[in-house]
Amino acid sequence: MPRSSGAASPSTSHLDLSLLNGFSFRCRPDCGLCCFTSPAVSEGERRKLIQLDPNVPFEELTTGEGDKENEFAHVSDQGDGGACHFLHGLRCRAYGARPFPCQSFPLMVHIGRTAQATLVLSCPGLDLNGLPGWAGARPPQGAPRGLDEEIRATKAEWAQRGGAGVVSGLTPLRRRGSPRVRHALRTFDWEAMRSHLIPNLPLPGPEDFPADAPPGADEPLDQLPLFFDEVYGRVALREREGGWECLPLRESGGSEAPLGLFPGPDTPPKLLPDAETLLRGYLGYVVRREFFVSLVQELCEDQGESDPTVVARDVLVDLGSQVMARAGVRAKLLGQGGERLDAPDILRGVRAVDADFLDQETVGEQL
Ligand code: SF4
Ligand code: SF4
């Protein structure tokens, strides 16, 4: 969980909470998915955790060059894909002193042109029944339910970290890419792009399959995409021998015996009508994220592409194919064929993809 060292002056800048509308949340005690990580901690949080457990191991946050940043560290995990040091028997032994990323999850704030809270839809405690509504021009309204504590923690962190100063400090384009691309991005009308995309959300076709496979067997377990399975708990996906292997992870590290090796779909599975509506709803939610704009911006700079609409469509098609492929593999894990996907299948696909999708570098930052 990235956490930057924003040094801006306090302000009352607006924190956009509109992407929480219409959702409800109730943490599942049998889950623990979000604790299979190494949460970032501030100096103050670190001191409280050491009071609880003098032997708590930390990893210092380092940049790509290996320079040490002084302000933040991570609580170490239990190694080999295992959970955070503090998780035992799916209970946090530091609950009262858990750091900010744990207090706010499944809510996260992306700071790009604006600061916007979004929900990590992989969390099985979120009710996603309203997701189809995000495909329309008028997204669901109504205050979120069950997220009061997470919103309170986020607002407090936002105020402490400096509000608007953080946004203005992070929005400039990086000095990469050609001047032509940078000029095009600076003057681009991102809201017009959203207005155009939402009624015309692209879905993947035969040419978009097979979707990208998960990382291979030589990647460490903690780098693999993870989802919560009702029967097997936390299951990681990896590519092996041309198939997709499902591995249930142990809290203390390592995995149980693989649950099976399933072929990823070579052609798009058939989407039943409710499934297609749900997939469009997910893509409509993604388009409204500032994270999406920042990701498209980053990819345009990388690719030297001055038309963000082209890149945006590619991102959505790729994401859609990932949802369908992971939905198909999860259906096979349930003993179904996976060639025809219904709405519950697509929900499983969204849950298997969203945390992974949000774990990408963008020109913005994460609170
Ligand atoms: S992933 Fe969601 S449901 Fe699971 S433990 Fe975390 S907050 Fe609770
Ligand atoms: S500190 Fe507690 S809540 Fe946070 S990741 Fe570790 S076990 Fe989970």
Give the position, in ligand 2's atom list, of the atom nearest the Cα of 37: 5
What is the tens place of the pLDDT at every residue in 319-344?
999 999 999 999 999 999 889 999 99
Q: Which amino acid is at 215?
A: P
Phi, psi of 71 (to 5 degrees): -80, -30
Mean pLDDT of 9-37: 87
Q: pLDDT per residue over 189-209, tens digit each?
A: 999 999 999 999 999 999 999
* Angle, CA of 84, 253 and 73, to the nearest 5°: 30
pLDDT tens digits along 99-112: 999 999 999 999 88
> What distance in Å separates the CA atoms of residue 176 and residue 246, rounded to the nearest whole number?
39
332, 345 Cβ separation under 8 angstroms? no
Ligand 1 mutation pick, 105, 120, 229, 358, max ligand atoms within 8 A of CB: 105
Report the pLDDT averaged over residues 37-44: 92
Minimum mean pLDDT among 5-14, 26-35, 327-336: which range?
Answer: 5-14
Q: Would the CB of 31 count as within 6 Å of ligand 1?
A: yes
* Whole-Å CA distances, 68 to 60, 71, 91, 346: 7, 9, 31, 42
The residue with tokens 């002193």 is 97
Q: 119-128: per-residue pLDDT in tens?
A: 999 999 999 9
Does any ligand 2 atom lie closer than 6 A to the CB of residue 33?
no
Distance CA 177, CA 198 (A): 28
Provide the phi-psi class of 59: left if phi over 0, else alpha when psi is between -120 and 50, else beta.
Answer: beta
Is the confidence at residue 172, as pLDDT, over 80?
A: no
Q: How far apart are CA 356 and CA 117, in angstroms?
A: 17
**Residue showing tokens 């998915």:** 33
- Closest C-alpha among 268, 272, 306, 313 to residue 186: 306
Q: Is the CB of 90 under 6 A from ligand 1?
A: no
Spacing, Cα 100 to ligand 2 middle (Å): 10
Q: What is the largest CA-CA distance in the chain?
A: 56
Q: Which residues contact 62 (CB under 8 A, 6 or more apart)?
A: 68, 69
Report pLDDT for 10.
32
Reported for 143-147, long-range contacts at CB under 8 A and 24+ positions apart, including other chains, are 143/21, 144/20, 144/21, 144/22, 144/23, 144/24, 144/25, 145/23, 145/24, 145/25, 146/24, 146/25, 146/26, 147/20, 147/23, 147/24, 147/25, 147/107
* Contact criterion met (CB below 8 Å) for 1 and 36: no
For residue 271, how far is its CA from the centre of ligand 1 (angstroms)? 28
Residue tagged 């809270």 (tokens): 117
Nearest CA to 76 out of 56, 92, 96, 95 is that of 56
